[in-house]
Amino acid sequence: MKRLAPIAAFAVLLAVETAAQQAQPQQQLHAPDVIYVPTPQPVVDAMLEMAKVTAADVVYDLGCGDGRIPITAVQKYGARGIGIDIDPARIAEANENAKAAGLTGKVTFLNQDLFTSDFSDATVVTLYLLPSLNQKLMPKLKALKPGTRIVSHAFDMGDAWPPDASREVAGKMIYFWVVR
């Protein structure tokens, strides 16, 4: 068998790699809009209490990070917990945390862009996003089913949608809305 010249060999490898990539298209997600900062557990607990989470709820955490909010919603209330994060490292960490908590298969983590994700079945939505991102999400949040509860750690929605309630927990603010 003849040896391929280096350029020909490179061309064959490039063609094989390109064909493999085309055969398995991957969703291209952009980099996170914010750096990851976890919500302290006392704030997580207060957010879920403020939303009056029950076993009948579907709790979505947009920008879920390590998964602590959906995991707590499942552990403490028996709710269905779903986390969405654009960073695959955070999703891997969230899945590991669910496994450590014995909740594999009971909580779901999706590596998606929260601006294009479907969370229309949510009854509770939690957020820890910058005000500009909250405002960008506002039309999608306001379009959720009436009665859906939204709780945000640290940031509100500005004057366009004043919160129905707010409170300070462990030196952090949380804001609460009900979709009408």
Higher-confidence position of 6 and 57: 57
To the nearest whole percent, how much of the chain has pLDDT over 70?
Answer: 81
Per-residue pLDDT tens for 100-153?
999 999 999 999 999 999 999 999 999 999 999 999 999 999 999 999 999 999
Which CA distances in Å does 160 have to 51, 132, 135, 136, 163? 21, 12, 8, 11, 10
DSSP 34: S
pTM: 0.82
User: Taking a C-beta distance cutoff of 8 angstroms, is the pair 59, 123 a contact?
Assistant: yes
pLDDT at 25 over 80: no
Q: Calculate ∠ Cα 109-80-39, nearest 5°.
A: 60
Torsion, Cα 3 8 13 16, to 10 degrees, reads -110
The domains located in the chain, with CATH, are 41-178 (3.40.50.150)
Helix ranges, the chain (H): 6-23, 41-50, 68-77, 88-100, 131-142
Higher-confidence position of 26 and 90: 90
What does R_g of the chain's alpha carbons equal in angstroms?
Answer: 20
Torsion, Cα 47 87 82 167, to 10 degrees, reads 10
Torsion sign across C-alpha atoms 150, 88, 112, 74: negative
